[in-house]
Structure 1
Amino acid sequence: MNKTTQTAPHPYIGMWVTKDGHVRQELLPDGRYDEARGTRQSAYQGDYQVSGNYITYQDDTGFTADGYFENDVLYHGGMVMFREASIN
């Protein structure tokens, strides 16, 4: 099925990381995410949806999670994540 309408990408696309850099989650423009943990690249991958400042995840195994964005910080699964550029 081809999409005939395009919407502007949401402002949260990009790399989000924990302060210690252990968890790195990239939100891709196509509605997919790729999360690395420590030295384990692509530890979790799946789909995500953003509605306002709320995000829901479903990884490729079927596991679901959620989170929210506030003041350019992502709160997800007990983690606090920042835009990669903002912690350097």
Structure 2
Amino acid sequence: MKRAVALTAALLASGAEALPDRRASAQTADPPGVEQADHPYVGLWVTEDGRVRHELLANNRYVEARGSREKAYQGRYRVTGDHIDYWDDTGFTADGDFIDGVLHHGGMILHRRR
């Protein structure tokens, strides 16, 4: 612990910025980049059994439902090409990839629901 404090103090003394708190950064504005409304993946993505549902909103936010829990997880996301990064409001991070119109995320396969 003392080493971490000493390292942080040395970095700050040298003019470096402190590392952001993951929990605080999860609730900040979205990173710069393409507006999410411009990508083709906005909408509802669902597992075959309907148990897990990801709604990717055009305002860079998502809501994940699991079973009967309609808002089990929520946070922000960013799509870069066919890759998606998630930042849950509690600080948890995850990612996934869109392959041939299917979302592969955390060992799950989600299909677009229209």
Structures share fold, TM-score greater than 0.5: yes
What residue number does 1:67 align with?
96
Letter in 2 for 1:76: H
Unaligned stretches of 5+ in structure 1? 1-5
What residue number does 1:25 align with?
54
- Give the structure with the larger strand fraction: 1
1:58 to 87, 106, 109: 87
Q: How does 1:77-88 map to 2 (within 5 A)?
A: 77-85=106-114
In 1, Cα distance between equivalents of 2:58 and 2:47: 21
- Per-residue CA deviations over 1:27-50 (Å, capped at 9, x if unaligned) read 000000000000001100000000
In 2, Cα distance between equivalents of 1:28 and 1:63: 19
Percent sequence identity over matched residues? 60
TM-score between the two structures when normalised by the length of structure 2: 0.67
Unaligned stretches of 5+ in structure 2? 1-33
TM-score between the two structures when normalised by the length of structure 1: 0.87
What is the aligned residue count?
80
Q: CA RMSD in A?
A: 1.3
Residue 23 of structure 1 deviates from its aligned partner by 0.3
SS of 2:59 mapped into structure 1:
coil
Structure 1 stretches of 4+ moved >6 Å: none
2:73 to 44, 66, 69: 44
